[in-house]
Structure 1
Amino acid sequence: MRWEDLFADLELQWEANEAAELAAELADRSRREAAYLRLIDRLRPVVGHPARCRVLGGQRAPETLHGTLSALGMDWFLLAEPGATEVLVPMRSLLAVENLPVVSAQPGHEGPLAAKLDLRYVLRGLVRDRSVCTLLFVDGTSLHGTPVRVGADFLEVAEHAVGEFARRGRVRSGWTMPLDAIAYVRRVP
């Protein structure tokens, strides 16, 4: 009986060591896989769902935006706010996202088209549509107007009064700003 007890004890020790090694290997593999995740991979499962984000641009503190994450690009995301407004946020302005789900999208599987849809591409769509917007800058100031041109690293906006369009005689001023200065762009419905 003594030998059987010894063998049973050795077998239990062996199984415990194997389980501990497997757990350590799985934890190490999970850490390595997480190291390849990007923020866009964490955000992709949230498209179509409510999101709450802190962004640069508040006068004294970061501003909190909430709405449905309706689109996502390599360096931007679009929030559909309650009340039919849309907010285009450059990723560099994002400070935090609240309560992301545990799951992430597979890294690098956004497709070739999504990789081409950068912030400049989306801003060119606003220019094409002559969309009236309010731009919030990273310093907390804002500008109301219509984007008129997008360069490699800048945006030009025709400033005009709220409720007006960028027509001759209505444009107050023309502004050129680096894309890095934009905290977000809110499209006026």
Structure 2
Amino acid sequence: MRWESLFADMEAQLDAAREQGLRDEVAELTRAERAQVTLVDRLRATRGGTLRVLLRDGQTVGGAVVEAAPQWVLVASDATRRVLVPATAVTGVVGLSALAAPPPGTAERALSLGHALRALARDRAEVRVDALGVRVAGRVERVGADHVDVLPADAGPGGAAWALRFDALMAVRSG
């Protein structure tokens, strides 16, 4: 009888050690998986959700996430206004999903910031571009590899456009 209880106790200890090892392994795998998640992956998972984005220049942009790609997020600040925020302009976010979207596919990776800006140029949309040190209301005229030309609305015929580097952009507002 004594041997049976000793073996039962040893078996219970072994089972507890196995369970603890499994919990430790799951926790380590969870930490390793979370270490691979980018902020943009979480923004992409928040499509349709409401959040507030803090930009590098101190501005905040709030609203529903309409779309997100690896280089940008599009936020609906109200029923008619949209704000295109480059991922490089984001300092922090309140309201993110705890989940992460799967890695972007080939088509989604192709949706660069330049691609989104070219769509605004094609549509001849009136925009307000906030960049470090300047705010320009007008139209996107051209989009280069690393910059966008914005012609101010108050520029006369032959007026000069602002050429703004992508990495200086904080927000492009339309609507």
Mapped partners of 1:128, 1:27: distance in 2 = 49
1:145 and 2:141 aligned: no
Query: What is the Cα deviation at residue 56 of structure 1?
Result: 2.0
After superposition, what is the alpha-carbon deviation per residue over 1:34-65, rounded to whole angstroms, capped at 9, x for unaligned?
Answer: 222222221222111212111122xxxx2221
Give the alignment of 1:116-127 within 5 angstroms.
116-127=110-121
Give the alignment of 1:37-186 within 5 angstroms.
37-57=37-57, 62-106=58-102, 108=103, 110-139=104-133, 141-161=134-154, 169=157, 173-186=160-173
Give the alignment of 1:5-16 within 5 angstroms.
5-16=5-16
Decide whether the 8 Å contact of 2:50 with 2:95 is kept in 1: no
Q: Aligned-pair RMSD on alpha carbons?
A: 1.7
The unaligned stretches of length 5 or more in structure 1 are none
Query: What is the Cα deviation at residue 138 of structure 1?
Result: 2.7
Query: What is the Cα deviation at residue 180 of structure 1?
Result: 1.0
Mapped partners of 2:168, 2:22: distance in 1 = 49
Aligned residues with identical type, % of pairs: 33
After superposition, what is the alpha-carbon deviation per residue over 1:154-185, rounded to whole angstroms, capped at 9, x for unaligned?
Answer: 11111124xxxx7x54x753211211111111
Task: Indicate the SS of the match to 2:97.
Answer: coil
After superposition, what is the alpha-carbon deviation per residue over 1:90-113, rounded to whole angstroms, capped at 9, x for unaligned?
Answer: 00001111132222222x2x2211
Decide whether the 8 Å contact of 2:49 with 2:64 is kept in 1: yes
With the length of structure 1 as denominator, give the TM-score of the two structures.
0.86
Decide whether the 8 Å contact of 1:160 with 1:172 is kept in 2: no
Task: Indicate the SS of the match to 2:161.
Answer: strand
Mapped partners of 1:31, 1:157: distance in 2 = 44
With the length of structure 2 as denominator, give the TM-score of the two structures.
0.92
Mapped partners of 2:145, 2:7: distance in 1 = 72
Mapped partners of 1:122, 1:46: distance in 2 = 19
Task: Indicate the SS of the match to 1:48.
Answer: coil
Query: What is the Cα deviation at residue 16 of structure 1?
Result: 1.0
Letter in 2 for 1:126: L
| Structure 1 stretches of at least 4 aligned residues deviating more than 6 Å after TM superposition | none
Task: Indicate the SS of the match to 2:63.
Answer: strand
Task: Indicate the SS of the match to 1:66.
Answer: strand
The unaligned stretches of length 5 or more in structure 2 are none
